Amino acid sequence: MTGASPDRQPGLAPSAWVLRFAGLVPAGGAVLDLACGGGRHARLFLARGHRVTAVDIDTGGVADLAADPRAEIVAADLENGAWPLGGRAFDGVVVTNYLWRPLLPLIAASVAPGGVLIYETFARGNERFGRPSNPDFLLAEGELLRAVEGRLRVVAYECLEVTEPRPAVVQRIAAARDGSGVSSTASPREHA
């Protein structure tokens, strides 16, 4: 799902869904912000005291975070290259406004025991409001539920029309991997 997007604007507010479930990420744990754009959620979790790995094909939006020792910036083409994170697992995995279906199993597998996946993106019906309108980039009914089924425990799920921050049809999930909550990926710097 390439191309310019308003979500790459610096200073864009965090998603209300991500804010709502951010507290489920174990304190001090490592967070993955996949397809991070301008890094609104990377910044949110850094401010909350987490280590953050921010991945995008274009890391220009998070270049300013490179000086932060708690931030790991990974430039990777998630759709045409190898999965850039090996077998690493994270206490929080955040994906917003991005969909590349082949990654869904890897995303669910990237949640460490005790960790949580917070995912929100556009769903079918959004074509009424504009982009994305390509079905490849729109979740089908229940698709996020199926993506975590047998892997993670669903904490909350919604598929609905919203008006904020702009009219859209979105699907979103918060789903946890039950476990000790003490695992998590090693320090980003150990993997750099």
Ligand X SMILES: C[S@@+](CC[C@H](N)C(=O)[O-])C[C@H]1O[C@@H](n2cnc3c(N)ncnc32)[C@H](O)[C@@H]1O
The residue ranges that bind ligand X (CB under 6 A) are 1-2, 5, 7-8, 12, 35-38, 40, 56-58, 77-79, 96-98
Nearer to ligand X, 77 or 141 (CB): 77
Identity of the residue, 14 or 113, whose beta carbon is nearer to ligand X in the bound complex:
14
Tell me whether strands 168-176 and 71-75 are parallel, antiparallel or unpaired. Answer: unpaired
Cβ 92 vs Cβ 30: under 8 Å: yes
CA 173, 50, 88, 1 torsion: positive or negative? positive
| Shortest Cβ 69–ligand X spacing (Å) | 23
Nearest-approach distance from CB 136 to ligand X, in angstroms: 12
- In a 3-state reduction of DSSP, which class is residue 16? helix
Q: How far is the CB of 172 from ligand X (least distance, A)?
A: 12
CA–CA dist 137, 57 (Å, integer)? 17
Shortest distance, position 129 Cβ to ligand X, whole Å: 14
Of the pair 131, 153, the CB lying nearest ligand X is at 131
Question: Is there a contact between 35 and 98 (Cβ–Cβ < 8 Å)?
Answer: yes
Q: Which residue is nearest to ligand X (CB)?
A: 37
Q: Which is nearer to ligand X, 116 or 183 (CB)?
A: 116
**Are the CB atoms for 148 and 54 separated by under 8 Å?**
no
